[in-house]
Structure 1
Amino acid sequence: MTIVINSIEINKTNILNLVSKGKKLQAIKSVREQLDVGLYESKIIVENLEQNPNFYDGRSHTITTDFPDMDTIETQSTRSKSGHIISNTSSKFKDTVIVLLIIAIVVLLLIQFSN
Protein backbone atom coordinates (compact mmCIF):
# COMPACT_ATOMS: atom_id res chain seq x y z
CA MET A 1 0.00 0.00 0.00
CA THR A 2 1.51 3.34 -1.05
CA ILE A 3 0.69 7.01 -0.74
CA VAL A 4 1.73 9.82 -3.05
CA ILE A 5 2.85 13.09 -1.52
CA ASN A 6 4.57 15.83 -3.55
CA SER A 7 4.60 13.44 -6.52
CA ILE A 8 6.72 10.97 -4.54
CA GLU A 9 5.38 7.52 -3.77
CA ILE A 10 6.17 6.08 -0.33
CA ASN A 11 5.18 2.83 1.35
CA LYS A 12 2.38 3.58 3.80
CA THR A 13 2.53 0.07 5.28
CA ASN A 14 6.11 0.60 6.45
CA ILE A 15 5.19 3.88 8.13
CA LEU A 16 2.17 2.34 9.85
CA ASN A 17 4.26 -0.64 11.01
CA LEU A 18 6.82 1.68 12.61
CA VAL A 19 4.08 3.65 14.36
CA SER A 20 2.37 0.48 15.62
CA LYS A 21 5.70 -0.74 17.05
CA GLY A 22 6.10 2.53 18.98
CA LYS A 23 8.81 3.82 16.65
CA LYS A 24 7.10 7.08 15.76
CA LEU A 25 10.38 9.02 15.57
CA GLN A 26 11.78 6.50 13.10
CA ALA A 27 8.60 6.85 11.04
CA ILE A 28 8.97 10.64 11.01
CA LYS A 29 12.62 10.34 10.00
CA SER A 30 11.73 7.89 7.24
CA VAL A 31 9.02 10.17 5.84
CA ARG A 32 11.34 13.15 6.04
CA GLU A 33 14.11 11.38 4.14
CA GLN A 34 11.84 9.92 1.48
CA LEU A 35 9.86 13.09 0.77
CA ASP A 36 12.61 15.65 1.40
CA VAL A 37 10.29 17.75 3.58
CA GLY A 38 10.87 19.40 6.94
CA LEU A 39 10.57 17.85 10.36
CA TYR A 40 7.24 19.56 11.07
CA GLU A 41 5.68 18.39 7.81
CA SER A 42 6.92 14.84 8.39
CA LYS A 43 5.46 14.84 11.90
CA ILE A 44 2.08 16.00 10.57
CA ILE A 45 2.05 13.25 7.93
CA VAL A 46 2.88 10.54 10.47
CA GLU A 47 0.33 11.87 12.98
CA ASN A 48 -2.35 11.97 10.28
CA LEU A 49 -1.63 8.32 9.48
CA GLU A 50 -1.49 7.42 13.17
CA GLN A 51 -4.95 8.91 13.80
CA ASN A 52 -6.46 7.61 10.57
CA PRO A 53 -4.57 5.03 8.48
CA ASN A 54 -6.81 5.93 5.51
CA PHE A 55 -6.05 9.66 5.76
CA TYR A 56 -4.13 9.61 2.48
CA ASP A 57 -6.70 8.00 0.25
CA GLY A 58 -4.76 7.23 -2.93
CA ARG A 59 -4.96 10.68 -4.43
CA SER A 60 -1.80 12.71 -4.84
CA HIS A 61 -1.25 15.14 -1.96
CA THR A 62 0.96 18.21 -1.80
CA ILE A 63 2.74 19.27 1.36
CA THR A 64 4.07 22.83 1.32
CA THR A 65 5.79 25.09 3.78
CA ASP A 66 5.48 28.81 4.25
CA PHE A 67 9.11 29.07 5.23
CA PRO A 68 11.58 30.53 2.73
CA ASP A 69 14.54 28.53 1.56
CA MET A 70 17.34 29.46 3.95
CA ASP A 71 19.93 29.25 1.15
CA THR A 72 18.29 32.12 -0.72
CA ILE A 73 17.95 34.53 2.21
CA GLU A 74 20.62 37.19 2.22
CA THR A 75 21.65 38.05 5.75
CA GLN A 76 24.19 40.45 7.06
CA SER A 77 25.52 39.00 10.24
CA THR A 78 28.84 38.81 11.94
CA ARG A 79 30.14 36.66 14.71
CA SER A 80 31.36 38.24 17.91
CA LYS A 81 34.43 36.96 19.72
CA SER A 82 32.23 34.68 21.82
CA GLY A 83 30.69 33.10 18.72
CA HIS A 84 27.26 34.73 18.95
CA ILE A 85 25.71 35.99 15.74
CA ILE A 86 25.08 39.71 15.69
CA SER A 87 22.71 40.96 13.01
CA ASN A 88 23.47 44.14 11.15
CA THR A 89 19.97 45.64 11.13
CA SER A 90 20.84 49.33 10.81
CA SER A 91 19.27 51.33 8.04
CA LYS A 92 19.67 54.87 6.77
CA PHE A 93 16.20 55.81 8.00
CA LYS A 94 16.89 54.53 11.49
CA ASP A 95 20.25 56.33 11.59
CA THR A 96 18.63 59.56 10.38
CA VAL A 97 15.93 59.43 13.06
CA ILE A 98 18.53 58.89 15.78
CA VAL A 99 20.63 61.85 14.56
CA LEU A 100 17.53 64.08 14.44
CA LEU A 101 16.56 63.07 17.99
CA ILE A 102 20.05 63.88 19.26
CA ILE A 103 19.95 67.29 17.54
CA ALA A 104 16.51 67.99 19.04
CA ILE A 105 17.75 67.10 22.54
CA VAL A 106 20.81 69.32 22.15
CA VAL A 107 18.65 72.24 20.95
CA LEU A 108 16.25 71.81 23.86
CA LEU A 109 19.12 71.72 26.34
CA LEU A 110 20.65 74.87 24.81
CA ILE A 111 17.29 76.66 25.07
CA GLN A 112 16.87 75.52 28.70
CA PHE A 113 20.35 76.68 29.79
CA SER A 114 20.23 79.98 27.87
CA ASN A 115 17.25 81.19 29.94
Structure 2
Amino acid sequence: MDRLLIGVAALAGGGAVALAALRAHLLAPRLDAAALAMLDTAVTMQGWHALAMLAVGILLPRWGGAPLRVAGIAFAAGTVLFCGAVLLRALAGVSLGPVAPLGGALLIAGWLALLVAAAARRG
Protein backbone atom coordinates (compact mmCIF):
# COMPACT_ATOMS: atom_id res chain seq x y z
CA MET A 1 0.00 0.00 0.00
CA ASP A 2 2.93 2.35 0.62
CA ARG A 3 4.00 2.40 -3.04
CA LEU A 4 0.42 2.95 -4.18
CA LEU A 5 -0.04 5.83 -1.76
CA ILE A 6 3.24 7.43 -2.84
CA GLY A 7 2.08 7.11 -6.46
CA VAL A 8 -1.26 8.76 -5.65
CA ALA A 9 0.65 11.49 -3.79
CA ALA A 10 2.81 12.09 -6.85
CA LEU A 11 -0.27 12.38 -9.08
CA ALA A 12 -1.98 14.72 -6.63
CA GLY A 13 1.12 16.88 -6.25
CA GLY A 14 1.74 17.08 -9.99
CA GLY A 15 -1.94 17.79 -10.56
CA ALA A 16 -1.85 20.62 -8.04
CA VAL A 17 1.10 22.22 -9.84
CA ALA A 18 -0.63 21.83 -13.22
CA LEU A 19 -3.86 23.33 -11.87
CA ALA A 20 -1.95 26.24 -10.35
CA ALA A 21 -0.31 26.93 -13.71
CA LEU A 22 -3.66 26.73 -15.51
CA ARG A 23 -5.18 29.05 -12.94
CA ALA A 24 -2.42 31.62 -13.34
CA HIS A 25 -2.03 31.55 -17.10
CA LEU A 26 -5.33 30.46 -18.60
CA LEU A 27 -8.19 30.65 -16.13
CA ALA A 28 -7.52 33.91 -14.25
CA PRO A 29 -8.92 36.14 -16.99
CA ARG A 30 -11.89 33.82 -17.63
CA LEU A 31 -13.28 33.12 -14.16
CA ASP A 32 -14.94 35.43 -11.67
CA ALA A 33 -13.45 36.12 -8.24
CA ALA A 34 -15.60 33.50 -6.47
CA ALA A 35 -14.61 30.75 -8.90
CA LEU A 36 -10.93 31.71 -8.63
CA ALA A 37 -11.15 31.57 -4.83
CA MET A 38 -12.70 28.08 -5.02
CA LEU A 39 -9.98 27.01 -7.45
CA ASP A 40 -7.28 28.36 -5.13
CA THR A 41 -8.79 26.43 -2.21
CA ALA A 42 -8.89 23.19 -4.19
CA VAL A 43 -5.30 23.58 -5.40
CA THR A 44 -4.04 24.40 -1.91
CA MET A 45 -5.84 21.47 -0.30
CA GLN A 46 -4.67 19.10 -3.02
CA GLY A 47 -1.06 20.19 -2.61
CA TRP A 48 -1.05 19.89 1.17
CA HIS A 49 -2.73 16.49 1.12
CA ALA A 50 -0.35 15.23 -1.56
CA LEU A 51 2.39 15.89 1.00
CA ALA A 52 0.34 14.18 3.72
CA MET A 53 -0.10 11.09 1.52
CA LEU A 54 3.63 11.09 0.76
CA ALA A 55 4.44 11.20 4.48
CA VAL A 56 2.04 8.35 5.24
CA GLY A 57 3.46 6.32 2.35
CA ILE A 58 6.97 6.80 3.73
CA LEU A 59 5.91 5.96 7.29
CA LEU A 60 3.87 2.84 6.44
CA PRO A 61 6.79 0.40 6.07
CA ARG A 62 8.33 1.71 9.30
CA TRP A 63 5.29 2.06 11.51
CA GLY A 64 2.61 -0.08 9.90
CA GLY A 65 -0.71 -0.40 11.68
CA ALA A 66 -4.35 0.15 10.86
CA PRO A 67 -4.53 3.82 11.91
CA LEU A 68 -1.81 4.76 9.45
CA ARG A 69 -3.50 2.80 6.65
CA VAL A 70 -6.79 4.52 7.51
CA ALA A 71 -5.04 7.90 7.36
CA GLY A 72 -3.69 7.15 3.88
CA ILE A 73 -7.04 5.96 2.55
CA ALA A 74 -8.85 8.92 4.10
CA PHE A 75 -6.35 11.40 2.64
CA ALA A 76 -6.63 9.87 -0.83
CA ALA A 77 -10.42 9.58 -0.87
CA GLY A 78 -10.91 12.96 0.79
CA THR A 79 -8.63 14.68 -1.71
CA VAL A 80 -10.48 13.22 -4.66
CA LEU A 81 -13.92 14.03 -3.25
CA PHE A 82 -13.22 17.45 -1.79
CA CYS A 83 -10.93 18.82 -4.49
CA GLY A 84 -12.89 17.20 -7.30
CA ALA A 85 -16.19 18.66 -6.12
CA VAL A 86 -14.72 22.12 -5.55
CA LEU A 87 -12.97 22.09 -8.94
CA LEU A 88 -16.15 21.01 -10.70
CA ARG A 89 -18.04 23.82 -9.01
CA ALA A 90 -15.36 26.40 -9.82
CA LEU A 91 -14.84 25.39 -13.44
CA ALA A 92 -18.29 24.23 -14.55
CA GLY A 93 -20.68 25.67 -11.97
CA VAL A 94 -21.89 22.15 -11.13
CA SER A 95 -22.64 21.34 -7.50
CA LEU A 96 -22.31 17.77 -6.26
CA GLY A 97 -24.25 18.54 -3.10
CA PRO A 98 -22.65 17.02 0.00
CA VAL A 99 -19.61 15.55 -1.79
CA ALA A 100 -17.21 18.39 -0.86
CA PRO A 101 -18.16 18.33 2.84
CA LEU A 102 -17.85 14.54 2.85
CA GLY A 103 -14.40 14.86 1.32
CA GLY A 104 -13.47 17.48 3.90
CA ALA A 105 -14.64 15.21 6.69
CA LEU A 106 -12.45 12.43 5.29
CA LEU A 107 -9.46 14.77 5.24
CA ILE A 108 -10.05 15.65 8.88
CA ALA A 109 -10.46 11.95 9.69
CA GLY A 110 -7.13 11.30 7.99
CA TRP A 111 -5.39 13.79 10.25
CA LEU A 112 -7.06 12.27 13.31
CA ALA A 113 -6.00 8.77 12.22
CA LEU A 114 -2.45 10.05 11.77
CA LEU A 115 -2.61 11.42 15.32
CA VAL A 116 -3.77 8.03 16.61
CA ALA A 117 -0.94 6.32 14.70
CA ALA A 118 1.61 8.68 16.22
CA ALA A 119 0.18 8.30 19.72
CA ALA A 120 0.27 4.51 19.46
CA ARG A 121 3.90 4.57 18.35
CA ARG A 122 6.40 3.44 20.94
CA GLY A 123 10.00 4.61 20.98
TM-score range normalised by the length of the shorter chain? under 0.3
Which structure features the higher share of strand residues? 1
Which structure features the higher share of helix residues? 2
Larger Rg: 1
**Given the two structures, how large is their TM-score scaled by the length of structure 1?**
0.27
Larger RCO (CA within 8 A; separation ≥ 6)? 2
**Given the two structures, how large is their TM-score scaled by the length of structure 2?**
0.26
